Amino acid sequence: MSGYLELARLHAPVLTLLALLAGAALAFVSPSRRLAWVLGIAASIAAAVFSVDAALRVLVWGDAPIGAVEGLALRADGVSLFGAAALNTAGALVAITAGAFIAEASSRTGPYVMALLLCVVAGWSGALFASDALGVFAGAEIAWLASVAMVALSAERGALNGALRMLIAGGVGAALFLLGAALLWRAIGSTDVFYLSAALIRAPGLAASGVGLMLAGLALKAGAAPLNFWLGAAMGRASGPAVLALGVLGMLGGVFVIVRFAAHAAPAPALGAGVSAVLAALGAASVVIGSVQAVGARNLRRLAAYACVAQCGVALLCAALGSPAGFAAALVQAFATLAAMLALFTGAAIGVGGARSLDALDGMGRRAPLAGVAITASAISLMGAPLTLGFLGRWRLVEAGVGAGWWWAAGAVIVTSLAGVFFGGRLIERLYFRRAVATQEAGAGAWGIAGAPAMISAIAAICLGFAPTLLLRAADAATAFVAGGGP
């Protein structure tokens, strides 16, 4: 029995993907939306168990790393283990919360929505575990096309406009990535991600251009500013599950893939400076533009999405440092953003249902106290208040940035926190200091446990800020695993 368990653990990346894709296939042919929801939850929890077990064993307990799987271009490194564990856990929580919306969806589209949600998680997980650029490309495109389809399945016609904008943006990103991968192949004779740091680069300019184009293609899908022109249209009109899939899983999945790719490319002398410059530019632009857009937003979902852009910008700035400390800080910041976004989106999903206006939050703290607590915890973490996960991510950036002489990175942290105080304060003020002017039909059709993820993610956003030892240890081990080849 233990032999089978060890065999299963050795193939954790494949099993993670298999659980998700098998769940997606079953959900797709499921005759009822409730059955599809249950199947989706089961598959995403199985994938989360596989990926979290692999991450804990390798990154925390120091077991032997998981090698390449024969016949498949999958290979786990520290960043992919960390990212896949975070993403699949978030995927399971999103799948549970999706019940709040699928209960109200039509019986025809409900199963499709669950199947596509699992495809989004599978795509980004596949991109994280891929050992070469082809796998990263295939995984990112599967996730992106599934996200587009989820947005297009929304009941409101405005979502079609957003889905088409997403499709155009993603297609341009795909074209850039494809050309970038070909340039990289020409320059180093391989598209293997693990080969990047040690490659004999015959044409440094060509290789740097290739990596730059690939990062730009991924940044388009991660919603990094100024390449996030599709975000407002897609998030503003999409249905609840699509917003959860795109705002929580899609954007953070893209950031984890970028961090992993950069962690392999940065040590190469011919690539390091270019990677750093691209990520610093994208990170700084995301912090500034995302913060301004979040402050000006009057649609709750757009506000959350733009706040996510600003937070992801901080993670990209961390990765731009190019040092192990910088990549560890990027992982901590991405995890903090994931927890805050989960709490915000799932809290809003349960508290105000499909409502989009900020007015829907008025008085929600009294009407739906648990959802109010989740949104408050998220807002405090987004502000970067001490003893929250958001503070931890930014503190790690300041530490790593000052160590490398990047004083301006501290300025970016201040901008993000100031904007966070503004829009986070607005959320809290509406929750507890205003009276509802209209009746909300929030969460009326939610199924049983659909509200649990909001509380779980809110507790994570706060408690892991109090006791961050495990998270910091895992992030440091993940970076060391990439840099040194072993945990």
Partner 1 sequence: MVSADPILARLLLAMATTLLLIGVIAAWTSTNLVKRVVGLLFAMLGALVGAAALAAPAALLMLGAGVALGYFLVAAALIVRVQEAYGAVEAAELDSADGVDEPAEPKA
Provide the binding-site residues for partner 1, judged by CB under 8 A. 133-134, 137-138, 141, 145, 148-149, 152, 156-158, 160-161, 163-164, 167-168, 170-172, 174-176, 178-179, 181-183, 185-186, 191, 236-237, 298-299, 357-359, 426
d(C-alpha 159, C-alpha 173), whole Å: 21
Residue 263 to residues 55, 171, 259, 484: CA-CA distances in angstroms? 18, 25, 6, 11
d(C-alpha 123, C-alpha 62), whole Å: 27
Q: Which residue do the tokens 């599709």 mark? A: 230
Structure tokens at 66: 């998981």
Q: How far is CA 168 from the centre of its chain?
A: 21
Among residues 183 and 348, whose Cβ is nearest to partner 1? Answer: 183
How buried is residue 298: exposed, middle or buried, by Cβ count under 10 Å (0-12/13-18/19+)? exposed
Among residues 189 and 269, whose Cβ is nearest to partner 1? Answer: 189
Among residues 136 and 456, whose Cβ is nearest to partner 1? Answer: 136
Smallest distance from the beta carbon of 442 to partner 1, in angstroms? Answer: 18
How buried is residue 128: exposed, middle or buried, by Cβ count under 10 Å (0-12/13-18/19+)? buried
d(C-alpha 129, C-alpha 83), whole Å: 9
Among residues 228 and 276, whose Cβ is nearest to partner 1? Answer: 228
Smallest distance from the beta carbon of 448 to partner 1, in angstroms? Answer: 32
Among residues 175 and 198, whose Cβ is nearest to partner 1? Answer: 175
Smallest distance from the beta carbon of 233 to partner 1, in angstroms? Answer: 8
Q: How far is CA 24 from the centre of its chain?
A: 20
Q: Which residue do the tokens 């912090």 mark? A: 287
Smallest distance from the beta carbon of 263 to partner 1, in angstroms? Answer: 22
d(C-alpha 40, C-alpha 35), whole Å: 8
Smallest distance from the beta carbon of 387 to partner 1, in angstroms? Answer: 30
Structure tokens at 23: 């769940």
Q: Taking Cα atoms as reference points, which of 228, 238, 244 lies closest to residue 93?
A: 244
Smallest distance from the beta carbon of 361 to partner 1, in angstroms? Answer: 11
Among residues 148 and 218, whose Cβ is nearest to partner 1? Answer: 148
Smallest distance from the beta carbon of 298 to partner 1, in angstroms? Answer: 5
The secondary structure of residue 111, as a DSSP letter, is H
Smallest distance from the beta carbon of 379 to partner 1, in angstroms? Answer: 16
Among residues 78 and 173, whose Cβ is nearest to partner 1? Answer: 173
Q: Is 173 helix (H, G, I), strand (E, B) or coil?
A: helix
d(C-alpha 289, C-alpha 140), whole Å: 24
Q: Is 74 helix (H, G, I), strand (E, B) or coil?
A: strand
Q: Taking Cα atoms as reference points, which of 83, 247, 265, 87 lies closest to residue 166?
A: 247
Smallest distance from the beta carbon of 123 to partner 1, in angstroms? Answer: 12
Among residues 32 and 357, whose Cβ is nearest to partner 1? Answer: 357
Among residues 266 and 297, whose Cβ is nearest to partner 1? Answer: 297
